[in-house]
Amino acid sequence: MFPSKRTSMNELTLKVIGCGDAFASGGRNHSCFFLKINRAGVLLDLGGTAFAGLKQHSVDQSQVDYIIISHLHGDHYGGLPFFLLDAGVKKRSKPLTIVGPKGLREKTLALLALLYPGTRVMEKMSIRFVSFEEPMPLSFPDFRLRAMPVIHSKATDPHGIRLETQQRLLPIPATRNGHPSCSTFPKMPICSYANVISINPTSPDTSAIGFYKNTCRI
């Protein structure tokens, strides 16, 4: 748990569930960040092994109102079927909004059908999918979201995510190999005035770890 930012009008907390890459370097969970924005619970990415991370950090599906998926690599959205199955089994009635690349709903349904044939949990829950194709920024009761294309595997429709509240918060859950160097992050337009910048470093012994830790203290 990294330090909370708090004002009388606005509360932000960030819990890092997973910051590993596709290969779980360093034994870290796949990408997943749990944000609390006032009363709203937001998961930024939900990678394949992140569901176990949620349990390890006592983050129940009932605490989550929004799931934002940065791009369609398994280490960033492969945990969705497990989350949805858990929510369905627990007969979740609370609405859930899932924001992400075009086609995310269809891919999620396909994943569920592959991993748990015959399950119909999604039909029984109130789930709204919102595509990055919608005009930006997307406005929600507790924050605004701006998704911007970033350099990464094109087939995954990769986006950097900027969440805006009265304070500003920026996680970028994309791999760092698509960027010239970590030191350029603070200079990117999407990063201006950011309270937090997050990336998932590619190995535990690179300078990205130092960068990651440093930026989370912002």
**Positions in the binding site for Zn ion (CB under 5 A):** 73, 175
Comparing CB distances to Zn ion, the nearer of 177 and 181 is: 177
Separation of alpha carbons 43 and 35, rounded Å: 6
Q: Closest approach of Cβ 72 to Zn ion, in Å?
A: 8
CB of 159 vs Zn ion, minimal distance in Å: 11
The residue sitting closest to Zn ion, measured at its beta carbon, is 73
Q: Give the separation between CA 96 and CA 144, rounded to whole angstroms.
A: 16
Token pair 């999918």 in the structure block, residue: 129
Task: Give the span between the Cα atoms of 169 and 173, in whole angstroms.
Answer: 13
Q: Which is nearer to Zn ion, 12 or 161 (CB)?
A: 161
Looking at beta carbons only, is 175 or 198 nearer to Zn ion? 175
CB closer to Zn ion out of 77 and 82: 77
Is there a contact between 88 and 122 (Cβ–Cβ < 8 Å)?
yes
34/44 Cα distance (integer angstroms): 6
Residue 175 CB, nearest approach to Zn ion (Å)? 5
Minimum gap (Å) between residue 202 Cβ and Zn ion: 11
Residues 6+ apart with CB under 8 A from 88: 119, 121, 122, 124, 125
